[in-house]
């Protein structure tokens, strides 16, 4: 084994340690809502005692204990600061987290495995908010999210329309001529198909774009790359071999911020969902309400609901605090089945 190989191993271990430290801090923050007080001396003593008994490293046990005391102190400080907790699907560095940072840079981003986990955690009060992608200019509807929105009681309290930029990422020092494959989510790979073909890179599907970046950072392989965004490159200390590698320039995603309660603010856009009878003119009858009121519809989408039935999603300009908009909502509620306003909110375009 050479010095370079040993140092590569150290870099891999450091990447894993940082990821685990982030995860520990996130769990500590979530524990806040279950505790009467931030400080729990008995629990801290249990943790320190276990660390002292289990320490098998070359460093003195006092070093390990002191290190954990610092970690506990930092966890306590994070709990006391009470940042907003916002769930998102994927690993840190995902496009949802980029949109979240634009909405609230001080919020604590909490990764989830599935979109349903985000909704469940917000509903159960574990997270203050969730952020989910609803549609993409290239990929269309994000099916799982829209399916959940049909029946959820959660409210949309904000929206972010963000550009999606893909980069080819590799470990520092990697020679781009030696890269043979690229890992990423299947949608990202599809959006970079021409770039991959030109550079003769094998597309390797992975569950998440940011997850691919994290994997590359941890394994430190120099013959593989990840396709993810600049933020993922930053947090995983990866080198951007090439940016803006997507085939189509207009790649944008809209994200909804969801919560248990409405924001209480006067928004500039509303979202609603409803269904209609399966007969000619039924949908038109509902949409005509908004046309007659001079209200601009910015989104009309149908999503499969129960077998043979579809839910209709609409977004429209205006606020439910506006008497004319409120009147149109009441008229649409009479014309359609289960007409429900999902939220009135402000939308930000990045």
Q: Which residues are catalytic?
A: 253, 255
Determine which helix (DSSP H) or strand (DSSP E) holds 256, and give its type and residue range.
strand 252-259
3-state DSSP call for residue 327?
helix
Question: What gap in Å lies between CA 159 and CA 269, rounded to an integer?
Answer: 9
Contacts of 112 (CB under 8 A, 6+ apart): 87, 88, 89, 90, 118, 121
Question: What gap in Å lies between CA 332 and CA 320, rounded to an integer?
Answer: 13
Question: 4-11 long-range contacts, Cβ below 8 Å, gap at least 24?
Answer: 8/220, 11/171, 11/220
Nearest to 299 by CA among 308, 131, 290: 290
Q: Residue 108: beta bridge partners? A: 85
Per DSSP, which regions of 276-327 are E strands?
Answer: 297-304, 310-317
Q: How many CB atoms lie within 10 A of CB 228?
A: 33
Q: Secondary structure of 93-121 in the HEC alphabet?
A: CCHHHHHHHHHCCCCEEEEECCHHHHHHH
Residue with tokens 């399966």: 278
Question: What gap in Å lies between CA 87 and CA 258, rounded to an integer?
Answer: 10
């Amino acid at each position: 084994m050479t010095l370079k190989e040993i140092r590569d191993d150290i870099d891999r271990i450091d990447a894993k340690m940082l990821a685990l430290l982030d995860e520990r801090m996130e769990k500590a923050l979530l524990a806040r809502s279950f505790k009467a007080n931030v400080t729990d001396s008995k629990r801290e003593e249990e943790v320190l005692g276990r660390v002292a008994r289990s320490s098998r490293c070359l460093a003195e046990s006092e070093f390990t204990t002191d290190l954990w005391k610092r970690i506990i102190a930092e966890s306590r400080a994070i709990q006391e600061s009470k940042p907003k907790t916002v769930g998102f699907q994927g690993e840190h560095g995902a496009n949802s987290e980029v949109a979240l940072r634009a909405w609230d840079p001080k919020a604590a981003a909490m990764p989830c495995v599935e979109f349903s986990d985000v909704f469940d955690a917000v509903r159960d009060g574990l997270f203050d908010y969730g952020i989910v992608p609803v549609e993409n200019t290239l990929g269309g509807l994000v099916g799982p999210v829209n399916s959940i929105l049909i029946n959820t009681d959660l409210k949309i309290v904000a929206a972010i329309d963000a550009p999606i930029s893909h980069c080819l990422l590799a470990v520092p020092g990697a020679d781009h001529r030696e890269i043979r494959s690229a890992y990423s989510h299947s949608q990202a790979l599809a959006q970079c198909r021409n770039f991959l073909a030109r550079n003769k890179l094998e597309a390797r599907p992975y569950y998440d774009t940011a997850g691919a970046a994290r994997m590359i950072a941890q394994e430190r392989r120099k013959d593989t790359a990840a396709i993810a965004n600049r933020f993922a490159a930053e947090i995983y200390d990866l080198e951007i071999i090439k940016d803006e590698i997507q085939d189509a320039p207009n790649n944008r995603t809209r994200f909804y911020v969801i919560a248990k309660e409405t924001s209480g603010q006067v928004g500039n856009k509303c979202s609603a969902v409803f269904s209609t009878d399966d007969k000619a003119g039924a949908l038109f009858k509902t949409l005509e309400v908004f046309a007659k009121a001079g209200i601009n519809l910015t989104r009309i989408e149908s999503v499969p609901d129960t077998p043979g039935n579809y839910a209709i999603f609409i977004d429209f300009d205006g606020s439910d605090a506006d008497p004319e908009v409120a009147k149109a909502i009441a008229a649409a509620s009479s014309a359609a089945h289960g007409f429900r306003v999902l939220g009135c909110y402000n939308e930000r375009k990045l």
